[in-house]
Structure 1
Amino acid sequence: MRHGTLVPGAGRPAGGFDWSTTPPPVAPVAELPPLPALSRVKVLHVITRLQAGAGGNTLLSALGMDPVRYEVWIAGVPGGDLWERARAAGVRTVEIPGFRHTLTPLDLVVLWRLTRLIRGERFTIVHTHSAKGGFLGRLAARLSRTPVVVHTFHGVSFHPYQSRARRLLYRRLERVTRRFTHRFLAVAPRVAEQAVEERLAPPGHVEVVPSAVELTHIPERFDPLARRVLGTPRGTALIGTVGRLDSQKAPLDFVRMAAALQAERPDTAFVMIGDGPLEGDVRRLAAELGVELILTGHRTDASWLVSGLDVFVITSLYEGLGRALTEALATARPVVATAVNGVPDLVEHGATGLLVPPADPERTARAVRWLLDHPRQAAEMGRQGQRRVRGGFGPQAMCAALDACYRELLGLPPPGPAPGP
């Protein structure tokens, strides 16, 4: 029997039986003999770092799956602010000693530990994320003969700002493990396109599953309390960003943008929410250029603080989709973002925000100034961006797509309607 093949005019799979139909119970559940424990599909997510955008997306993927059907684990690099939250929510976690963000000789030991974990727990699905996690996770799954292997592209792992040797190495690693993968997912259409163009995935085998954000705790409009917490009076235009202060996010370009904008609009203030290895460089450049910059450090309430901004800016050199960007749009903030990777799939120039080239602080400053000079159009862009995000970027939609992917690969029928009373 082939599940999912529809007979013309019929509403059930070929063969005459609809596996997704659930009859109602004939007696109250409390009166029935106890239900035996049913087997669950064991899923292991392997990710390099359980933090920031890809890490948050992976955690939502684990938390949102039906616990009756799936037993979800996460393995990755030790450290990061999401491991404790995952454990508190009941997700099985494995922080692998020796696992690092960059390639090291210890990766042979990490591969052995991953392979031992997968073989010992007999996972049905190994779902990998990011470049290094994808390489080691898929190789370990292959060595363990895992039935189903899925890989998500949160952004292609190599980019023009890396050295040529590093780009070639990551491209080779991705291509080596391509043939070990049964299904490819991507967080945005342009990320999927780039994966196919670079031959990291075969044509027609990449499905777009947008990276979800938790929308319930994000304000839907400007919040004056968030502005007061940031210490900026309402009459001053507040420009801000959220993200790790590292080379990918190009925080020094944000400082240079602030200096260029401040020269023409002295009634502006600037805030950076986040921390990272370039924090000292950011402070030095801001002092050198005379920019009064608020640096909050890492904040767990960053998505709420964004609701106090007048314009949200990202200056990233590469970005799969941008979790902070999605959250800013969810709160109807006007945005200026660099046109890299999957960002233009979310920010449509002139409709849901403005796009600028990467590594161009002057043009970024001009785009921010345009939004400040055209508040009515800026507000409408924010509203349209909010409708786009709140209409399709919730965890329920993402987890439903993952469930459909897993079911198809395992030959399971789609879930049926809930049983009647």
Structure 2
Amino acid sequence: MELKTKNSKLKILHISSARSWRGGEQQLAYLLEELQALGQEQLVLCVRGSAMEGFCREKGFAFMTYRKRFSANPLVGLKIGRICKKHSIDLIHVHDSHAHTFAWLGALFGNKTPIVVSRRVDFPIGKGRFSQMKYHHPSVRKILCVSEEIRRVLLRDYRFPERTAVVYSGIDLEKFPFKNTGILHREYRIPEALPLIANVAAIAPHKDYFTFVRCVDILVRQGVQAAFFIIGGDGGDRPAVERMIRERGLEGHIHLTGHRADIPTILPEIDLLLFTSKTEGLGTTVLDAMACGVPVVATAAGGIPEMIGDGETGLLAPVGDAEKLARQVIRLLGDRALRARLTERALGRVRDFSKEAMGRGVMEAYTSLS
């Protein structure tokens, strides 16, 4: 099946299997907006009752829903084939692993619509027959990796490098004001002069909040005066992280806010982002911090070094190295000139990661299929 010419409008079916709203869903939302601005026709297939359904309703994007039930539901694959035929879909863009599975099942049932896969995770594809078939199926015409590191890891087990491309995740550079509103200081009754050190991410295994807690423990024992925040909903690890905080006697130092919808408002209030992931496709929280002038100390996981040059746009430490992270935090807190230099350079670097650039990159990948 051949796509239309480069100047023609495409009919794109986006598939999401997520029920909640995290980084991948935000990227799909940005992509929908950018492709709409480029004049493309889009339809979203998402889980019934999901956050993505709510977004599409609110913003007026065309959508259909399905009952997920389980991750390899053949009925969803059949539905995709019917949608593609009824709406004359030119290409399918899948935005997570289960969505990829559903589109692949549709291809097994005879749907010939080309598939584009977004890959956001920095671990290899499975070596089992199921994963290998899913990724190497001829309908998969392009795999879009959100960092060079993800592409490098993918190509360990993927036989078609010409079908891969890197399109960095994007952020809304206009969303984050530089104004410090003081919301967290007031809400948690923190003295105005006390700096805030935070991570902004779901409390999920790959975010490695255990290293965050160990780092805070070191900083507190060394007399660092700061309030520490974990800003994000429970991704499975919250009970264990809370237990670790209690065991180390850090209840009075670390505040867990849960999920918050006001990140653009509170992020500029943070004095330092302490980002401790052990795996990370790219890490758009880091980009958000860079965009609003918040200095970053992070692990060198996945695609993070593609955003943060150590000593250039932030400070890095090896994955899991709480002691090195603590040293970097102390270094940054104690050097005003270093903070100013890093944030100034970060503001220049982050412009390469706009949602507009992401939209153009995805569109170029689409048209390269013709």
What TM-score results when the alignment is normalised by the length of structure 1?
Answer: 0.77
Residues of 2 paired with 1:229 and 1:319: CA distance? 32
Deviation at 1:242, TM superposition (A): 0.8
Q: Where do 1:214-293 residues align within 5 Å?
A: 214-219=172-177, 221=178, 223-229=180-186, 231=188, 232-276=190-234, 277-291=236-250, 292-293=253-254
Call closer, same or farther: CA 1:180–1:346 in 2, change over 3 Å.
same
Give the corresponding residue for 2:104.
138
Q: Which residue number in structure 2 is paired with residue 398 of structure 1?
A: 358
How much does 1:215 deviate? 1.9
Q: Which residue in 2 is equivalent to 1:185?
A: 144
2:261 matches 1:297: no
Once the two structures are TM-superposed, the CA of residue 78 in structure 1 deviates from its matched residue by 4.4
3-state SS of paired residue (1:214): coil
Residue of structure 2 aligned with 1:323, choices 254, 261, 284? 284
Q: How far off its partner does 1:85 sit?
A: 2.0
Q: Determine the structure 2 residue equivalent to 1:113.
A: 79
State how far apart, in whole Å, the 1-side matches of 2:169 and 2:272 are: 22
Paired positions, count: 359
**How big is the shift at 1:121?**
3.1
SS at match of 1:364: helix
Q: Offset of 1:80 from its aligned partner?
A: 4.6
Q: Find the aligned partners of 2:149 and 2:243 in 1 and give their Cα distance.
A: 36
Distance 2:49 2:218 in 1: 37
Q: What's the counterpart of residue 334 of structure 1?
A: 295
| Matches of 1:327 and 1:193, distance apart in 2 | 25
- Describe the superposition over 1:153-210 as per-residue Cα deviations: whole angstroms up to 9, x where unpaired: 2124559xxxxxxx544x85155332321122211112122222231x6223322211
Report deviation, 1:43.
0.6
Distance in 2 separating the partners of 1:356 and 1:333: 18
- CA gap of 1:111–1:388, structure 2 versus 1, over 3 A, is same
Bigger shift: residues 129-138 or 208-217: 129-138
Secondary structure class of the residue paired with 2:213: helix
Partner of 1:44: 13
> Partners of 2:179 and 2:107 in 1: how far apart?
46
**RMSD, aligned α-carbons:** 2.6
TM value normalised by structure 2: 0.87
Using the aligned pairs only, state the percent identity: 24
Map 1:59-138; keep pairs closer than 5 Å: 59-66=29-36, 69-99=39-69, 103=71, 107-138=73-104
Q: Does the 8 A contact of 1:118 with 1:144 survive in 2?
A: no
Q: 1:366 to 1:67 in 2, by over 3 A?
A: closer
Q: Which runs of 5+ in 2 are unaligned?
A: 1-5
CA deviation map 1:221-249 (0-9, x unaligned): 36153453454333212110111111121
- Shift of the alpha carbon at 1:144? 4.4
The one-letter code sitting in structure 1 at the alignment partner of 2:240 is D
- Contact 2:290–2:346 (8 Å) recurs in 1: yes
Cα distance in 2, alignment partners of residues 301 and 385 from structure 1: 23
- Between the aligned partners of 1:73 and 1:341, the Cα distance in structure 2 is 31
Instruction: Give 2:318's aligned residue.
Output: 357
- Equivalent residues of 2:312, 2:345 under 8 A apart: yes
- Which of 151, 155, 158 is 2:121 aligned to? 155
Q: CA–CA distance in 2 between the matches of 1:403 and 1:53?
A: 20
Shift of residue 345, structure 1, vs aligned partner: 0.7
Structure 2 CA distance for aligned equivalents of residues 187 and 335 of structure 1: 20
Question: Aligned in 2, Cα 1:92/1:300: closer, same or farther, shift over 3 Å?
Answer: same
Tell me which of 403, 409, 418 is aligned to 2:369.
Answer: 409
Check 1:190–1:157 CA distance in 2 against 1; reply closer, same or farther (3 A cut).
closer
Give the drift of 1:66.
3.4
Given that 1:332 and 1:382 are in contact with CA atoms closer than 8 Å, whether structure 2 keeps it comes out as yes
With over 3 angstroms needed to count, the CA separation of the structure-2 counterparts of 1:337 and 1:212, relative to structure 1, is: same
